[in-house]
Structure 1
Amino acid sequence: MLRPLHTYEPLQGLSRFTELDGQLVLDLLPLRDSLALTAPGPGGKLTPAYVRAVLTAVLEVRTGLRPLVQLRGLVHPRLLRQLTVSTRIRGARFTLNRVRISPLGPSAYEASGIAVAESRGYGVMARFELTEPGWRCTYVDLVLPSKNRA
C-alpha cells in the first residue's frame, strides 16, 4: 500500500532566535532528540529516558558537539551560565551508560551514570528539581580521572 508523501519543507524549524545572556542568538541547528528532550511539565513524572537525553545533551555541549543554546528550557539558568564558562573537553565523544535516578523528595531527584569515551569511564552526577515550568537539571558534574592515575 502506497502512502502519500509529506510536503518537503527544508527550512521549517531551522532558524530560531533565542536570547542567551542578554544577546540575541540565531540557532540554525534543530534539536536532534526533540521528542526525548521535551521536558515533563509540572505534573509530569521524571523519566529515566528524559534524564538520559538531558545528560547526553550536556555532555555534547561540554565537548563542543552541540550548541549551548539548545539546553535552554532543559537546565536551570544558573547551570546554563556555568556551562558557558566551563572548559570544553576536546576530542572526546561520550556514550552514556547505566543511568540511574533516585528520588530525594517529591520535587528533587539525583541521577548518576557512567560516561565512556575512548574506552575510559567517567562518573556523571546530576540533580533534577521540579520548578515552575517543569523538571530542570540544576547541577551536573563529570568526574574526570586524576592526571597521576593510569
Structure 2
Amino acid sequence: METTIPPQRGAFIAKLGAWLQVAAALGIVGAIFAVSNASKVLSAPGVDDPSRFSEAIGDVLVCALIAVRLSLVGLVLVTIALTVFRYRSKWMYQMLCYFGLFSIGLSLCQLVFGYHLITWHLMFGVFFLIFALVKKEEFIRSVPPKRPLPSCYNLDP
C-alpha cells in the first residue's frame, strides 16, 4: 500500500526548524549582552572577587550553548522536512540558499581565524546549498509533487 505524506506535516516541521535557526542569532545577541555585563564587572572599582567575573563569563557560555543546541535541532528538523517529508516551497528554497551561503562563510571565517575544525555549519551549509540548487525546479513549482512513499513510512493512524 502506497501512501503520500500530507504537506502540512512537512510544512510545520520546516517552519519550526527555520524559526529555530533564529535561535542562533538570538544567542549571539544574548552573548554580546553577557560580555558587556562581564566587562562592566571587570572594570568596576574594587572588584577583587573573581567569582563575580566567572559568573558573568558563565552567562556568556550558557547563551552560546543554548543557541547552538537550538540551532542544531532546527537544522535537523529542516533536513527531515526536506528528505523524509519532501517538503518544497519557494520560501524554503530561498532559506536554504541563504543559510547555505551563510554557514559556509561562517565556517571559512572560523578556519581563517584559527579554529581549525570542520564544523557542522559547513556540513549542513554545503548540503543545503547543493540540495537547493539541484532540486530548484521542485522548489519553484507552485504545486509540490506528490510522490508515493513505501508502506514502511505509512503515517496514517
TM-score by length of 2: 0.25
By relative contact order (CA 8 Å, sep 6+), the higher-ranking structure is: 2
Q: Which structure has the highest strand share of the two?
A: 1
Larger Rg: 2
TM-score (norm 1): 0.26
When you count helix as a share of all residues, which structure comes out higher?
Answer: 2
